[in-house]
Chain A
Amino acid sequence: MNSLITRAKELLENKSVQVVIGYEAGPTSVARPAFITDPAKAGTLIYDERCVQNLAVYLTKPEVKHLGKMAIVATLPVMRSIMMLISEQQIFADSIVVLGISADGSLLDIADVKVMQGYIEKSDLGNPEKYKELLAELNKLSPEERFAFWQKELSKCIKCYACRQACPMCYCTRCTVEVNQPQWIPVQSNTHGNMEWHILRAMHLAGRCISCGECGRACPVGIPCHLLTMHLVDQVHNYFNVYAGTSEKMSSVLSTFEPNDKESFII
């Protein structure tokens, strides 16, 4: 990834940015998010198939923002997350330099949001291939079987909220589960309370999830909770013909009314 390193170094040297958010190798076989502030350390940046975390989650983290202007290594899901964060006014388009990475791992020239939008628009925006089969399998089940599947999976949940914390779109400083007057969702982890938590999370991400899969990957007990939000990605696309994170002006599907909205799901 020499071009990425050169570009990162250049940006830091000419002070266009104060930090480059990317990936580096750790002491074990997994890669980890890295925050490079010193141009001399740009050489530690890597990009390969081990670089899985959705780095956009750091764009709203106070200590990272505190470092100054940011450049970010961005694959398609990260670019779409950035687009979502811009459209939801969590970040400003011109405050971030995007070091786009194409599907084959090479550095893209993303000069501004317009270029990024162009790149996103010509990409495949549906759920990634590797999850489609599982989603289709779940859809084949009867509602009872599907309920039983989720009940079994979600009973394992320990409410560590790694799924929430790993998602760039879960940026609320106080999540609904932390609102305790009144307490909307039980604090304890039991099958019933876990179900409520996951239904809430899925609904809050409906029309906002950009299919990165990070929530499920982050889960320490291996609950495939990304399939819940990814199912809603398909549903939202079916009903409204939109994918999240495709434009800086996008309004949220579930909180916007259009006279020609289909109403087939209203009973």
Chain B
Amino acid sequence: METTRKSIRKQSLEKLYNLLSASRKVYAPVIAPDKQVEYKYNPDFAEVTFEHIRSTLSVKNVVFPKVENLFFYSNAKTESTITDIDLNKIPEIVLWGTHPCDNAAFDILRSIFSWDINDEFFSKRFEKLVVIGLSCHLSDEYCFCTSVGLTPNSAKGSDILLSRLQNGDYQAEILTEKGNGIVTLSPELFEPISGEEVTVTEVKQKFNHEQVTVKLASAFENRFWIENSLRCIGCGACAYVCPTCACFDIQDETKGKNGKRYRSWDSCGFGLFTLHTSGHNPRQVQSQRWRQRIMHKFSYMPERNESLGCVGCGRCSSGCPVDMNIAEQLEALQNI
């Protein structure tokens, strides 16, 4: 579909939001009392923030929930019955006001969840997702989208991308059929563009990701990993806040005769992550786990999935309790 550009007034945006919110699940960012930015379903428009840099958690849970039930079972004496999940019950979700980094992450997740087999849970949720993105007019020292091939106003992953205009109204780029579907709900809200400039923040490029990928190919045994991960305490924070980390654990939970199999987020930072039944662990210490994190995102994924595994949102670094800064390390790796 060819992109069309329209302009939408702040008041019209409110009308559009209320229209969507009345009929659909709309997932929008709000500032919680403790100042953390979190996404909520259908908050009042007055609560929705347009001024956030990054939410504490990414929004990947809309396509990859922290816990996803895979099926239910019940065990009788001789046989078990399995009840599948009805994927058709997965609702449409409209993401509202997510930034370009987070929106670009969906395609990276797609490349992982359809790499060898097509993950039907992910695919269904992804199919039902409509993204109304918001370009960034604010950024901070943790942002590095421009180092991973994106910009604060890249349209990748958005169905409609809003960008603030200098007069406080918004430009709306309508990018896909799904986006067009939203416009047709109330076409009069979308007016011809006014010629007003968009306000977009500037994010300095910190490294060249292609060079990093080249360097990583021969960096597996480098001292770098030990020296630069001594302070990593091996939690799951960086993977859990990350919009592109896709690892999960599968578990059964049984109560009496009935139970369910589910999957839940996992992280390569954990000591248990690749522990074999034999007791052997190919990643015995934290430096090997930290290496995996960077290698997966900047070496293995470019090779296997033809995309980077990082969108430069900076969450892993701002959320790390011991200030492991991934952009700083990638910059150093480029010059290794």
Q: Which residues of A contact B (CB under 8 A)?
A: 26-35, 53, 57-58, 61-64, 158-162, 164-166, 173-174, 178, 183, 186-190, 214, 217-218, 220-222
Q: Check B233 against A158 for contact (C-beta < 8 Å).
A: no
Q: Check A161 against B285 for contact (C-beta < 8 Å).
A: no
Pick the residue among A32, A35, A61, A158 that contacts B265 (CB under 8 A). A158
Q: Check A35 against B321 for contact (C-beta < 8 Å).
A: no
Q: Which residue of chain A is the closest to B56 with respect to CB atoms?
A: A221
Shortest distance from the beta carbon of A254 to any chain B beta carbon, whole Å? 25
Shortest distance from the beta carbon of A228 to any chain B beta carbon, whole Å? 17
How far is A63 from B286 in the complex, measured between Cα atoms in Å?
8
Q: Check B233 against A188 for contact (C-beta < 8 Å).
A: no
What A residues does B20 contact at CB under 8 A?
Answer: none
How far is A162 from B240 in the complex, measured between Cα atoms in Å?
11
Which one of B101-109, B192-200, B212-220, B322-330 is at the interface? Answer: B322-330
The answer to whether the Cβ of B287 comes within 8 Å of any Cβ in the partner chain is yes
Main secondary structure of the interface of B (DSSP, over half): loop
Residues from 48 to 104 in B contacting A, C-beta threshold 8 Å:
56-57, 66-67
Shortest distance from the beta carbon of A131 to any chain B beta carbon, whole Å? 15
How far is A35 from B239 in the complex, measured between Cα atoms in Å?
24
Q: Check B66 against A158 for contact (C-beta < 8 Å).
A: yes
CB-CB under 8 A for A162 and B235, given A26-B328, A63-B230, A220-B240: yes
How far is A159 from B262 in the complex, measured between Cα atoms in Å?
15
Q: Check A188 against B251 for contact (C-beta < 8 Å).
A: yes
> What 0/1 pattern do residues 205 to 236 of B give for CB contact below 8 A with A?
00000000000000000000010011101111
Q: Check B67 against A220 for contact (C-beta < 8 Å).
A: no
What B residues does A159 contact at CB under 8 A?
Answer: 236, 264-265
How far is A63 from B226 in the complex, measured between Cα atoms in Å?
8
What B residues does A28 contact at CB under 8 A?
Answer: 141-142, 317, 323, 325
How far is A20 from B240 in the complex, measured between Cα atoms in Å?
31
The answer to whether the Cβ of B271 comes within 8 Å of any Cβ in the partner chain is yes
Q: Which residue of chain B is the closest to A33 with respect to CB atoms?
A: B231
Pick the residue among A29, A57, A174, A190 that contacts B233 (CB under 8 A). A57
How far is A162 from B230 in the complex, measured between Cα atoms in Å?
16
What B residues does A33 contact at CB under 8 A?
Answer: 230-231, 322
CB-CB under 8 A for A162 and B321, given A26-B328, A221-B56: yes
Residues from 245 to 279 in B contacting A, C-beta threshold 8 Å:
249, 251, 253, 262, 264-265, 267, 270-272
The answer to whether the Cβ of B3 comes within 8 Å of any Cβ in the partner chain is no
How far is A28 from B253 in the complex, measured between Cα atoms in Å?
43
Shortest distance from the beta carbon of A265 to any chain B beta carbon, whole Å? 31
What A residues does B321 contact at CB under 8 A?
Answer: 53, 162, 165-166, 214, 217-218, 220
Shortest distance from the beta carbon of B207 to any chain A beta carbon, whole Å? 13
CB-CB under 8 A for A160 and B235, given A32-B323, A64-B230: yes
How far is A174 from B279 in the complex, measured between Cα atoms in Å?
12
Q: Check A173 against B57 for contact (C-beta < 8 Å).
A: no
Q: Check A222 against B272 for contact (C-beta < 8 Å).
A: no
How far is A26 from B240 in the complex, measured between Cα atoms in Å?
23
CB-CB under 8 A for A166 and B230, given A63-B286, A158-B57, A220-B240: no
What B residues does A186 contact at CB under 8 A?
Answer: 251, 253
Q: Which residue of chain A is the closest to B61 with respect to CB atoms?
A: A158
What A residues does B306 contact at CB under 8 A?
Answer: none
25 contacts between A and B (CB under 8 A): A28-B141, A28-B317, A30-B323, A35-B230, A35-B231, A61-B233, A63-B226, A158-B240, A158-B265, A161-B236, A164-B235, A165-B234, A165-B321, A174-B271, A183-B251, A183-B253, A187-B249, A188-B262, A189-B67, A214-B321, A218-B321, A220-B56, A220-B319, A220-B321, A222-B56
The answer to whether the Cβ of B34 comes within 8 Å of any Cβ in the partner chain is yes
CB-CB under 8 A for A220 and B241, given A30-B323, A63-B285, A162-B235: yes
Q: Which residue of chain A is the closest to B316 with respect to CB atoms?
A: A220
Q: Which residue of chain A is the closest to B206 with respect to CB atoms?
A: A27
How far is A32 from B317 in the complex, measured between Cα atoms in Å?
12
Q: Check A32 against B322 for contact (C-beta < 8 Å).
A: yes
Q: Check A160 against B285 for contact (C-beta < 8 Å).
A: no
What A residues does B233 contact at CB under 8 A?
Answer: 57, 61, 162, 165-166
Q: Check B285 against A220 for contact (C-beta < 8 Å).
A: no
What B residues does A217 contact at CB under 8 A?
Answer: 321
CB-CB under 8 A for A221 and B230, given A53-B321, A63-B287, A173-B271: no
What A residues does B34 contact at CB under 8 A?
Answer: 222
How far is A31 from B237 in the complex, measured between Cα atoms in Å?
18
How far is A155 from B319 in the complex, measured between Cα atoms in Å?
19
The answer to whether the Cβ of B186 comes within 8 Å of any Cβ in the partner chain is no
Shortest distance from the beta carbon of B57 to any chain A beta carbon, whole Å? 7
Q: Check B66 against A189 for contact (C-beta < 8 Å).
A: yes
Q: Check A160 against B267 for contact (C-beta < 8 Å).
A: yes
The 9 closest A-B CB pairs, nearest first, are A218-B321, A32-B323, A160-B236, A162-B235, A220-B319, A165-B235, A165-B233, A33-B231, A188-B67
The answer to whether the Cβ of B166 comes within 8 Å of any Cβ in the partner chain is no
What A residues does B241 contact at CB under 8 A?
Answer: 220
Q: Check B253 against A27 for contact (C-beta < 8 Å).
A: no
